[in-house]
Amino acid sequence: MVVAGVDLASCRALVALADWHPDIYVCIGFHPHEAAGMRPRDTEELRALAKHPKVVAIGEIGLDYHFDHSPRDVQREVFSRQLLLAQQLGLPVVVHSRESGEDVYRILAEWAKALGGQESSTAAENTLSAGMGGLGMLHCFSEGVEEACQYLDLGFSVSLSGTVSYPNAHKTRQVAAHIPLDRLLTETDAPYLPPQALRGHRNEPANVAAVVSEIAALRGLEGAEVASRTADNTIRLFRLSSGPSAP
């Protein structure tokens, strides 16, 4: 399981949890809801936390114009600051985008262009590559196929959650059916967004099996193939040494 922090306190707690549980890996960062609470010195604490071997990405970062819990200009500044941190550390990013697709794409496109045009001076910078979606993932992707392909072209992957099983989620279902399988990841966003059969209930990581089954049905594939391919994509993106540990 790859779990994402939303602020400094949650990032500290998740790193401690990863020490206790062998199959938990961590993304660290400030969610856009918490952007207004990020202080300049917090960047250095995130940098220190990133030295932990179970920290695999900077996230969940991005923009959320639906709730606007933090001012939009602050969200954009904090997003850019954390993208720079990811660049310096050579870590992929997990991106949140809600009703902010135009600004998210613009900021990520500028970042990807800067990565491609720089002369890397450290080993960390050399580890970030646009190949095979290695720059990061768009989490709980909710835009259409055209937008998905634009992110793929930048060097990102897209991740789908239980919303892919919602009958009215037409754009998400089209993305699941049509984008290359080697650029697709699955997630639950637990405790939110349970699959259709469990609407109204608390979501949990085990329900990723329902996400995989729905994607398989939409693509006309066996569930085992989608499970294997998306697991491989996850291991590759987050540079995990292997799959789950033995029970």
Q: Going residue by residue through the chain, which has 247 residues, state the pLDDT in tens, using 9 for 90 and above.
A: 999 999 999 999 999 999 999 999 999 999 999 999 999 999 999 999 999 999 999 999 999 999 999 999 999 999 999 999 999 999 999 999 999 999 999 999 999 999 986 544 444 444 677 777 799 999 999 999 999 999 999 999 999 999 999 999 999 999 999 999 999 999 999 999 999 999 999 999 999 999 999 999 999 999 999 999 999 999 999 999 755 554 4
Nearest to 53 by CA among 25, 29, 28, 30: 25
State which fold the 130-242 domain adopts.
TIM Barrel (3.20.20)
pTM value is: 0.92
Nearest to 187 by CA among 173, 171, 206: 206
| Segments making up each domain of the chain, as ranges | 1-92+119-128, 130-242
State in words which class domain 1-92+119-128 has.
Answer: alpha beta
